Each structure stands twice: as structure tokens, then as C-alpha cells.
Amino acid sequence: MSRLTSARYPWRFGLVCVAVVALASVIGWRIIDLHIVDREFLQAHGDARSVRYVPIPAHRGLITDRNGEPLAVSTQVLTLWGNPKELMGERARWAELAQALGVDGKELARRIEINAQREFMYLARGMTPEQGVSVLKLNLDGVYARDEFRRFYPSGEVAAHVVGFTNVDEQGQEGVELAFDEWLRGVPGKRQVLKDRRGQVIKDVQVLSNARRGKTLALSIDLRIQYLAHRALRQALLDFDAKAGSLVLVDVQTGEVLAMANQPTYNPNNRRNLDPAAMRNRALIDVFEPGSTVKPFTVAMGLNSGKYAPATVMDTRPGYMQVGRKTVRDVHNYGVLDITGVIKKSSNVGVARIALDVGGEHLYSMLQQVGMGQDTGLGFPGERVGNLPNFRVWKPIETAVMSYGYGLSVTAAQLAHSYAVLANEGKTVPLSLVRLDQRPEPVSVMNAEVASQVLTMMRTVVDEDGGTGSKARIPGYQVGGKTGTVHKTKAGGGYEDKKYRSVFAGVAPISKPRIAGVVVIDEPRPKFGQYYGGFVAAPVFGEVVGGALRLMNVMPDNLPKPAPEEPALAEQAKAKQGGRS
């Protein structure tokens, strides 16, 4: 039957033969075309399976203090990653891998099994090159490495709240690292490499773009002064069993922050057991009622009005006064005081009388102009501006309590900024955490003569007997300041009976002011029955500012006068000189 069919249709066999020959010719031509004519096609597909583009990590910018001392640097590290699909074939050596990585074997096995269908998982990040190489020497399938950088903070906990820190990918998370992240962040480069089937680089082909390191950032902080502040503040907390504390020092002429310390603090190089409360930069975030440290500005308002002069006499007897249904009290009955005495003795009655006489609107204007309730200009993440209630027609008691620092709130940095105005002849400049090459243009917000008069009054608080801030004295320098002891507010309103903030704000040296500073100690436990700002916070100010003035080579303005020569010794000296001549 088949022979009969073939005989009837002889053309079918020929058609099949022609088709086979044509197909073979097409295939042959395509092979020739791909290998000779169109070689780029196969080359491109081959390269797609072996040529890779690898990022070149970029150095994050260096952070230094004002003198070039490093505060944050980036060091090269190795990151190990694995391909779980390949690692599943190395099950027998998982324990060996875990030991080399320094991790728990069961946990590593669990992670590999969970990611068994994936092709990427981190094994360890931020290893030293020596540690990473020891793991790679195991020659396990599925274990690979790549270069990265890790941030290191040489000053540790001393400048942690200012500098902040980055995450494992070197992205700013807190402090200056976050505020200036774009400035500090580098731009990664790109290189073309050849890899084998295991993903190992076998050849560097070319660099397509070079990595650009981040820019260096010089802060205004002086690390030497920062160490002094850190040490003194920590000791104060230990001495008085206090909850927390803050210290801010400002260059009054430029607005540069020379030191900003907080306690408790943390080590940014080791954040495993980090307490979130210790991360808070209290000097910029915690607000409090400034208490008696506001009184110099109330007095400045009175002097500026022309109704008062430093010698103006005020009667504060009998040590209290009625304002509506409320009573304003002094700690003691100070009797008759001049305006300087009101500051020296810290009389609530005295400043309340001034404020009620001049008016709440003028008080509000003065406090606003010196920076209370206003932005400091730092641009720090999470910084608060406090609260200065907008003026309306204040009740008399509102004006009275505002005059001695209640009813408003500030940060330690704001208060230091305000005192810098007094020290800078009544001129204000924005605060800066970055070193400035040129002095900013100041803005006058207070009469220069009034500022000078208030500074002279503040000197009596520290340098004269009977002043509340005598423990802030600095040998060789004239110091002015004001103490404050403030009841802490309750969460539901009102004030705590036995919880205080002890505050000291001051300026030095008085003859030519260079530094303004604030010390705040939160909840000091009474020691020898004392928890006042003059007893707790003032000594910290004296110790730190004294060290800062010497480090900055500021000329002393209060050296003891040489003792006069006795007449007999003078005559003997003249006789000797005459004999030699």
C-alpha cells in the first residue's frame, strides 16, 4: 500500500528533502551570522551573565571641632552577605560558618532556612577587614563580601548629643549627622567588573564614575571645653543625686556654641543597650520655666523706660505684696533696696513692682527681643522654641509672675542666647553650631548703656558678699550672673512641692564679655539642706567658664593688686641703686 502511495505522489519525498535542506541552511546561516556578521548579539548576552556594575562606596564627610579635632570619621569595613539557595548545599558547614561569624549556630541555620528561596541575605555588617577575610577563607559557596564604611566617634559620649549618629547605611539619624546629612553624604561611584558563576570578581574592567566623598563640617564646639563641661556636669549629678542636667556656653560676639553638654548621655559607638531618654539633647529640647534668671531683663525694661535708674530706691517691705487675690513673696524681708539690690538679693517683690509700673506689654516686648519664645537659628532636629505667651491685656498677676520667670518656658540654649544679648552691648546674633569664618552682622535690640548697667548689677550677684551666686566666682575674672530655683510643674497642672530645677545663667568677663553660659540641674536632692541654683548650678558655671577663658587666652580683668612696698624696703632699694650708680 505504501509503495503504491509513494508511486502515486513522488513529489512529497522531494518536498520533505527540500524542507530539511532549507532548514539546515537557515540554521547554518544564523550560526555564521551570529559568530561572524552580528557578533555583538552573543557578546551582549554573554556579558549580561558575567559583566556587573558594582557601586564604589563613598566616604561620608569628616566632622571636626572648631580646632580640627575629629568628632566623626568613616572607616572602611567589610559586609558579608550570602545566597541562601547556594548555602543550602553547604549545610554540613553551617556550624563552621557561624563560629567564624561569631553568631549562634541555630539562629544562623534558622535564617538560612527561612530565606531558602531567596538569593540575598546579610550575614554580618561592619566587620573589620581581618574578620571578614577569615570568613571568606572558608571558601563556602554562597558567601560573598562587599566594601562599606562605618562611622566612628572618637569623643564618644562627650559630644554625642551634638554630633548625633548614623545608621548602618551611614544615613544621619540624630544631631548634626541628621541636620547636615546632605552636606556630609558622599556620592557613590560605579565600576564595571567581571564575575564568575559564584559571583566573585575575577576582573576589574573599568571605572565608570569615581566616588565623591562628603564635605567636611567644622563645628563651633571646642572639644577641650566640651570635655570640661561633660566632666563638671557629670560630677554635679553625682554630688546632688540629680536626675539630669544641661550646660550651654556661647561666644557672645559670634553666637557660636562653644560647648553643649547633657547628662545622662550615651556612647554612639555602642548602642546595643541604649536608653532612648539618654539620647535627648536636653539643652535644645527640654523646656522649663527660667525663674529668677529672667529678672535682669525685667530690670532692663525698667531702666529702658526711663522711670528707673540703678540707684532708684524701692521698698520691698514686708517681704510680700498682694496682687489681686494672689501673693508675691520674697524668701526674706529685704527692706529698702536700690535696683542693684533687687538683682543682688533676687527680690520677687522688687521686679514685680517694676513690671506692674512699666506694663506687661513692655515686658513682653523685652523678652521677645532678647530671644525668648523665638528660634535660636541653630536648625537642630527637634529643637523647641519654648513658650512666651502672646501679649493681650494681661492680668496684673500674669505680669507679676512673668517678671520673675514663671508663666513662660525656655530651653537652656535660648536662655544662653538671651544672656549673650546683655553681654554683647544689647546686640543679638543667631546661634551657630558651625564654626564661622566671619562674624555675623548683629542687630541691636537693647540700649547699650542699659545692657552695661545690668551687667554691672549682675556682677554684684557673684562678686560681692551677700550675692546669691558667689560660688560662680572665677579667680582673676569679673563674673556676672543670676541664680534661679524653680518649682517643677506637674503633668496635670500646678507645681511640685519638693522637685526643683536649679539654674545659673551668667557672663564673663564683665569688663569685656566673651562667654555667656547657662547651667541647669534637674531635680537635685537637697544636700546640707541646699538645692538652690547658687549652691548647685553656680559652681559648675564657675569651673567650666574659668577653664574656657584660660583655654581661649582671654585676658584676666580682676587680678589682685600688688601689695604696696613698705617705706623702709623702698628706701633700702633706692640706697642700693644709688650705691651701684
State how far the Cα of 250 lies from the Cα of 378, in Å rounded to an integer. 12
Closest CA to 458 of 305, 294, 314: 294
Strand locations in 273-405 (E): 313-315, 320-323, 326-329, 336-338
Kindly report whether the peptide bond that precedes residue 188 is cis, defined as omega within 30 degrees of 0.
no
SS3 content of the chain, % helix, strand, coil (to 5): 40, 25, 35
Three-class DSSP category at 263:
strand
CB-based burial label for 111 (10 Å; 0-12, 13-18, 19+): middle
Three-class DSSP category at 430:
coil
Residue whose grid cell is 527540500: 18
List CB contacts of 490: < 8 A, sequence separation 6 or more: 496
Per the CB < 8 A criterion, the answer to whether 457 and 345 are in contact is: no
State how far the Cα of 504 lies from the Cα of 483, in Å rounded to an integer. 5
Query: Looking at the chain, how many residues does it have?
Result: 581
State how far the Cα of 243 lies from the Cα of 233, in Å rounded to an integer. 12
State how far the Cα of 297 lies from the Cα of 251, in Å rounded to an integer. 20
DSSP letter string, 516-571? EEEEEEESPPPBTTB--HHHHTHHHHHHHHHHHHHHTTPPPSBPPPPPPPPHHHHH
Residue 506 Cα to chain centre, angstroms: 22
Q: How far is CA 212 from CA 36, 54, 59, in A?
A: 42, 15, 7
Active site residue 409: no
Phi, psi of 125 (to 5 degrees): -120, 145
Q: Catalytic residue, from 74, 220, 246, 292: name it.
A: 292
State how far the Cα of 245 lies from the Cα of 129, in Å rounded to an integer. 40
Per the CB < 8 A criterion, the answer to whether 153 and 71 are in contact is: yes
Question: Do the strands 217-218 and 63-64 form a parallel or antiparallel pair, or are they unpaired?
Answer: parallel
What is the torsional sign of CA 419, 425, 431, 432? negative
Per the CB < 8 A criterion, the answer to whether 474 and 542 are in contact is: yes
Catalytic sites, residue numbers: 292
